[in-house]
Amino acid sequence: MNTKKKILGKVLLYLAFALFVFWIIFPFLWVVISSFMKIDELGAVPPHWIPERPTLSNYKSVLMGIYQGEGVHGTYGAGQKATTILPALRNSAFISVVVSLLNIIIGGLAAYSISRFKTRMNRSIFYSIIASKVLPPIGMVIPFFIIFRFLKVINTPFALILSYNLFVLPLTIWLLKGYFDNVPVDLEEMALIEGLTRFKALLLIVVPVAIPGFVAVFIMSMMECWSEFFFALVLTDQMTLPPVLIGFEKMEQIQWNVMAAATVITVIPPVVVALIMQKHIVSGLTAGAIKG
């Protein structure tokens, strides 16, 4: 009887896991399938789970800005000119990389100082930084907009780079502080005795030990900036990918197949990075959180 219950429990567990995986993967799988369909086939009833006339014209539209107009009357945009996502793709990559680099530099220095100089002021600063993470974005975007408009940097990469760093830094500082707390202070003291400055000891002794944490924080920051929508929508005019995707939706019609192709292209870079660096992400996030 106990054996049957165990088998039944395992079957139910695996079934629940399979349903959960299907629930997570199916929407993106349908987006990928839709990206190879023409618009008339995409609206077929019953739906076609496998494209009968697969086409790459949707990807040509978003990459080259040339719309073929297959299966529908009219286009999104003017004439046969379509929205290309290449400028937004470049902007997203540039902003994400710059923010991530600044994030690990500024966050690393802040985390190190909080970890090594254990004063009441440092603890208060640390808890204040962590608490700032709970502030809703809608409460910060209006002050940002007013300040950036005064500085005349609205609709520039600088506006997003500065604002993104401010809401990514708290998690960076928290994770890196956990890594720095675990590096024995004796190693730095020995380096200081040998004549190294505090900064050189940080670079030569502490940073190499905390490399997994830096890699995890860099990738985490890059992914968060890559997918950020609200600030990019308010502070810029479709400068990055998420607002551009919304731009495919028009009042006259929605080109779902072209939007699907743009979505696939948008998702590919962070997915590839995550697959390549997954070991560093998992080890960096868990070690930083647990050790902190």
Please name which of 165, 37, 4 lies closest in space to residue 97, comparing C-alpha atoms.
165
Lowest-pLDDT range of 59-63, 136-140, 143-147, 244-248: 244-248
Per-residue pLDDT reduced to its tens digit, 10-37: 888 888 888 888 888 888 888 888 888 8
CA torsion sign for 216, 197, 129, 242 is negative
Length of the chain: 292
| Chain centre to alpha carbon of residue 186 | 37
Output phi, psi for 249, to 5 deg: -90, 120
Please give the pLDDT value at position 68: 53
| Chain centre to alpha carbon of residue 275 | 14
Q: Which residue has the higher pLDDT, 128 or 291?
A: 128
Give the pLDDT mean for 226-245.
Answer: 86
Q: Which residue has the higher pLDDT, 89 or 291?
A: 89
Please say whether the beta carbons of 106 and 164 come within 8 A. no
Per-residue pLDDT reduced to its tens digit, 166-222: 888 888 888 888 888 877 777 777 878 877 788 888 888 888 888 888 888 888 888
Please give the pLDDT value at position 100: 92
Q: Which amino acid is at 110?
A: A
Please say whether the beta carbons of 85 and 62 come within 8 A. yes
Please name which of 177, 180, 204 lies closest in space to residue 192, comparing C-alpha atoms.
204
Which residues make Cβ contacts (< 8 Å) with residue 139, sequence separation at least 6?
Answer: none
Per-residue pLDDT reduced to its tens digit, 153-162: 898 999 999 8
The answer for 66, left when phi > 0, alpha when psi is -120 to 50, beta otherwise, is beta
Please name which of 166, 118, 158, 100 lies closest in space to residue 139, comparing C-alpha atoms.
166
Please give the pLDDT value at position 253: 60
3-class DSSP state of 214: helix
Per-residue pLDDT reduced to its tens digit, 103-120: 999 998 988 888 888 778
Per-residue pLDDT reduced to its tens digit, 61-82: 888 766 555 444 344 433 344 5
Give the pLDDT mean for 80-103.
Answer: 83
Percent of the chain at pLDDT > 70 equals 85
Cα–Cα distance for residue pair 264/35, rounded to 1 Å: 8
Model confidence at 263: pLDDT above 90 = no
Please give the pLDDT value at position 285: 57
Please name which of 219, 194, 215, 218 lies closest in space to residue 205, comparing C-alpha atoms.
194
Mean residue pLDDT across the chain: 79
Model confidence at 94: pLDDT above 90 = yes
Give the pLDDT mean for 126-130.
Answer: 83
Give the pLDDT mean for 140-152.
Answer: 88
Model confidence at 248: pLDDT above 90 = no
Please name which of 98, 36, 95 lies closest in space to residue 70, comparing C-alpha atoms.
36
Please name which of 266, 239, 235, 263 lies closest in space to residue 249, comparing C-alpha atoms.
263
Please give the pLDDT value at position 93: 92
